[in-house]
Amino acid sequence: MTDAESDAETDSDASDATATGESGANRHALATLNDAEWPIIDSVTEYETGWFTGGYDLVEQPDGSTKRYYWAELPPAAVIVAVTDGELLFVEQYRPTVRETQYELPAGIVEPEESFTEASARELQEEVGFAPGETELLEEFWCSTGLLRHRRGIVLATGLDEAERTLDSNEFLVPKSVPVDEALSVARSQPTNDATLEGVLLAKENGVLRR
């Protein structure tokens, strides 16, 4: 490449940056945004409830400014897609936080030292009265990342045998079942939550909602 060609290429790059409204500093900030964690100056826990912890991180942003990012940290939760005899199992329960009775997939907190599949087997028996012969983790992901530090696992449970229900003292659940080919429409028409829609949609996409 000649010096003239090199100068022309540099001028072209500068023109492109000007045309897109990007300065060198902004391009650097975007690269930093994508390439590395933002430095945490301070991390403060403001309260603990026994159920979740809340606080904030004081973070240096890519442009050098600082901001408090508030968070609530919860244990991971398992959401169970349980199929038996062509039916998908739901629970109906009142949610005081939103003041609404909802149709939901069975779900519960993953205890320390438990896997998502182990928690699913335990919660399914406790809430619905079925013990699965097989469990499979379909997906694991972060939830509501603008605020929560909380992971969710969607678990498929099959080969169900009836077992004794052992509800916690604060659980008031009514087991329900829906034909698998109606599960999505029921989940969309009844009051429900994000975990239920995620679980039904993922199971449908994976081809596991079938008679």
DSSP 136-164: EEEEEEE--TTTEE-EEEEEEEES-EE--
Q: Tens digit of pLDDT for each residue in 7-34?
A: 444 444 444 444 445 555 555 555 555 6
pLDDT of residue 143: 93
With 80 as the cut, is the pLDDT of residue 119 above it?
Answer: yes
Q: State how far the Cα of 94 lies from the Cα of 171, in Å rounded to an integer.
A: 9
Distance between CA 172 and CA 193 in Å, rounded? 17
Mind listing the pLDDT tens digit for each residue in 40-80?
999 999 999 998 999 999 999 999 999 999 999 999 999 99
- Cα torsion for 98, 140, 180, 159, to the nearest 10°? -120
Burial 137-164 (b: 16+ CB within 10 A, else e): ebbeeebeeeeebbbbbbbbbeebeeee
Which residues make Cβ contacts (< 8 Å) with residue 70, sequence separation at least 6? Answer: 54, 55, 56, 147
Lowest mean pLDDT among 46-50, 51-55, 153-157, 165-169: 165-169
In CATH terms, the fold of domain 77-205 is Nucleoside Triphosphate Pyrophosphohydrolase (3.90.79)
Region 195-203: what's the mean pLDDT? 92
In whole numbers, what is the pLDDT of the chain averaged over residues? Answer: 86
Instruction: Report residue 25 as tokens.
Output: 């500093």
Calculate what percentage of the chain has a pLDDT beyond 70. Answer: 83
Mean pLDDT value across residues 75-96: 94
Residue 176: name the closest of 164, 190, 193, 156 by CA.
190
β-pair type (151-158, 87-95): unpaired
Query: What is the distance between the alpha carbons of residues 123 and 132, in angstroms, rounded to a whole number?
Result: 11
Q: Which amino acid is at 9?
A: E
The backbone torsions φ and ψ at residue 122, rounded to the nearest 5 degrees and listed phi first, read -65, -50
64: phi then psi, degrees, rounded to nearest 5: 95, -10
pTM above 0.95, yes or no: no
pLDDT at position 57 is 98
Look at residue 132 and tell me whether its pLDDT is greater than 60.
yes
